[in-house]
């Protein structure tokens, strides 16, 4: 190990009045994640998730089945008069969708030429209207950031109350942490010009969430 590392650790221990590394790990501050003080939700998690997402300038559609995602996407494109050219993640939740033949669809990753990205969330967090997106072969991170319009599909079953619940689901996955975990709460924004909020700084100008309630 480097001399710098050695000296930093020595200094830290000196300041903590300890001469050696801890013999045993410190007793966990929090024996269980449940022990965090969590903001009380005023509604059921799904309603709360949708309300908070609206507050964060996101939009939401609720559909009954996975197959309805195509129509919801078509409606979204109509509303915003968008050309049906999409980059779509190959996530299990959406990869069996049958898109209209005349649409231009390609699988990720996104490039600078993609204007609409479709991905799937690992979870939705009611507390703040946050989407939890995991990177992976079936969910490239560039889809979350390069397109102007970001459409995210999430199953209502995956809406949890608090962020701690999402971490629990993540730990249950058995696999290691993905390279990137994006907690996304609304579209990209900046307030760097006279503290006026402007959406669409570098990332998506719009965030649209399709919740499958089946």
Minimum Å gap between C-beta 74 and another protein is: 26
Q: Which is nearer to another protein, 156 or 201 (CB)?
A: 201
Nearest to 147 by CA among 118, 190, 171, 121: 118
Q: How many CA atoms lie within 13 A of 193 on its CB side?
A: 5
Both tokens of 4, joined, read 């710098």
Minimum Å gap between C-beta 177 and another protein is: 4
Both tokens of 87, joined, read 């980059």
Nearest to 163 by CA among 132, 187, 185: 132
* Rounded Cα gap, residues 187 and 201, in angstroms: 9
Q: Which is nearer to another protein, 63 or 122 (CB)?
A: 122
- Coil, strand or helix: which one is 173? coil
* Rounded Cα gap, residues 33 and 13, in angstroms: 28
Minimum Å gap between C-beta 141 and another protein is: 5
Minimum Å gap between C-beta 58 and another protein is: 10
Minimum Å gap between C-beta 64 and another protein is: 28
If you compute the radius of gyration of the chain from its CA atoms, what whole number of angstroms results? Answer: 21
Q: Which is nearer to another protein, 63 or 120 (CB)?
A: 120
Q: Which is nearer to another protein, 84 or 136 (CB)?
A: 136
Q: Which is nearer to another protein, 64 or 196 (CB)?
A: 196
**51 Rama class: left (phi>0) / alpha (psi -120 to 50) / beta:** alpha
Q: Which is nearer to another protein, 26 or 101 (CB)?
A: 26
* Rounded Cα gap, residues 20 and 29, in angstroms: 21
Minimum Å gap between C-beta 20 and another protein is: 10
Start-to-end Cα distance in the chain: 54
């Amino acid at each position: 190990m480097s001399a710098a590392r050695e000296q930093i650790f020595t200094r830290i221990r000196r300041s903590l009045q300890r001469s050696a590394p801890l013999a045993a790990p410190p007793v966990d501050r929090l024996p269980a994640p449940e022990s965090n003080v969590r903001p009380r939700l005023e509604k059921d998690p799904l309603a709360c998730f949708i309300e908070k997402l609206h507050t964060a300038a996101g939009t939401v559609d609720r559909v009954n089945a996975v197959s309805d995602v195509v129509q919801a996407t078509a409606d979204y494109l109509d509303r915003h008069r968008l050309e049906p050219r999409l980059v779509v993640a190959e996530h299990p939740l959406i990869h069996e969708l049958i898109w209209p033949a005349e649409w231009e669809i390609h699988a990720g990753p996104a490039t600078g030429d993609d204007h609409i990205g479709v991905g799937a969330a690992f979870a939705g967090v009611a507390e703040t209207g946050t989407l939890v997106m995991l990177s992976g072969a079936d969910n490239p991170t560039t889809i979350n950031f390069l397109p102007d319009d970001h459409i995210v599909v999430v199953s209502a079953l995956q809406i949890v109350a608090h962020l701690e619940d999402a971490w629990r689901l993540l730990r249950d996955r058995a696999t290691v942490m993905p390279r990137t975990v994006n907690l996304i709460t609304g579209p990209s924004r900046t307030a760097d010009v006279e503290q006026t909020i402007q959406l669409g700084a570098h990332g998506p100008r719009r965030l649209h969430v399709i919740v499958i309630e089946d």
